[in-house]
Amino acid sequence: MPVLTLFHGRFCRAAEVAAEVCAATGFKLVDDDGIIAAASAVSGVDREKLRRAFAARTSVFNKFTHEKECSVAYLKLALARLVAEDNILVLGFAGQLIPPAISHLVRIALIADLPYRLAVAAERDELAEKEALKLIRQKDEDCAAWIDFIRHTPQDCWDPSLYDLFLPMQKSSVAKASALIEENALKQVVQISDTSRRAAQDFQLAAQVEVALAREGHSVEVEARNSRVTLSIYKHVLMLNRLEEELKSIAARVAGVDHVQVRVGEHFHQTNIYRKHDFSMPSRVLLVDDERDLAQTLSERLQMRDMGSAVAYDGASALKLVAEDEPEVMIIDLKMPGIDGLEVLRKVKQTRPEIEVIVLTGHGSRSDRDKCLELGAFGYLQKPVEIDKLSALLQQAHEKIRGRAKGSR
């Protein structure tokens, strides 16, 4: 029996269709929540962090941490192990990760026009049109970004050529859509063969290699065929030979790998420089200062020291980033218009006390210093700051955070 994947828009009755198909065929229903749970069990990564991989919005720190790519690697591994079981229906985003080389795969898309989706939202969930529109647009944005991410190039996520079955639900009922899926799932052409079984094994091997690379801080695409692994780089590399040797060494240690080759991907992006994530260095540093030139220069100097740094130019923006992107260390200017550094420190320590905060000031007094330390600041430095002194303090804060993380395991 084949593997079915069901990609869908919001309010297209996908869950109802999937449940009916599984009831009729005996397939096991696996949704994104189930795959996230399995990936979390394998990796130890928090489920909510894994879930963010499906969102269109990517963290400002991702170019340093490769967090999204790492999450996808773990999701692939969990999915590859499930695919080996056969007779499953994968509902949601994760099914798009299954390579087309697995020929016992039926790719299905469920979509509908806006009036249909709004009617479902009102009838089933009793949502007002404005709220439903917001949810529909967000899901469609996530779907589009997910397809772009997987394929490394912009492509319409609802292009019928991407799917074996493309079902516009405004022209069908749940029963009719389910019956059509069941009919196609039983066709001989999509039944398991030795070749497709081998492709499923290759998918699992590729996922194992991708996870091994991610654990070493690397982010590359991995394909496997008959125990031969190909690593594809989609970013500009300054020292390609050195990177190739390191990637090959890591991949070759994975059981089942007979040969490794590295290539530059077809849609290679010259503007993006390949960065290996160094887990020993601070990579989620948020620098907050209203002096834009100073803040940008300081951020660049930290990046030159392999520290991942993003910038916010006022207190309100900083607090928004704290909520959305989870920095681990903050460097904040004490004197800023609007919400000043002291208030940012106070709010951060009230809501996210695990974030370490270093205060910078050119005009602070001893009482300011005492107040900041009393509120929980990790450090207090005078401007102009010596970059080596700041780097050392950042490293101390990072080591404290890593120590807490180890202690909580």
Tell me, yes or no, whether 153 and 216 share the same domain.
no
Domain-embedded: residue 159: yes
Section 201-228 average pLDDT: 94
Place of tokens 């994760």: 94
Last residue of a domain, one of 190, 209, 233: 190
Whether the per-residue pLDDT at 78 is higher than 90: the answer is yes
C-alpha span between 73 and 214 (Å, rounded):
7
Domain-embedded: residue 237: yes
Tell me, yes or no, whether 366 and 240 share the same domain.
no
The pLDDT of residue 276 = 80
The pLDDT of residue 370 = 94
Domain-embedded: residue 280: no
The pLDDT of residue 240 = 79
Tell me, yes or no, whether 24 and 99 share the same domain.
yes
Asked if residue 327 lies in contact with residue 355, where contact means CB atoms within 8 angstroms, the answer is yes
What average pLDDT does the structure give for the chain?
Answer: 91
- Phi, psi torsion values for 164, nearest 5 degrees: -80, -35
Total domains present in the chain: 3
The pLDDT of residue 271 = 52
Which residue range forms the structural domain that includes residue 243?
A: 195-273
C-alpha span between 108 and 113 (Å, rounded):
17
The pLDDT of residue 86 = 73
3-state SS class at 87: coil
Whether the per-residue pLDDT at 153 is higher than 80: the answer is no
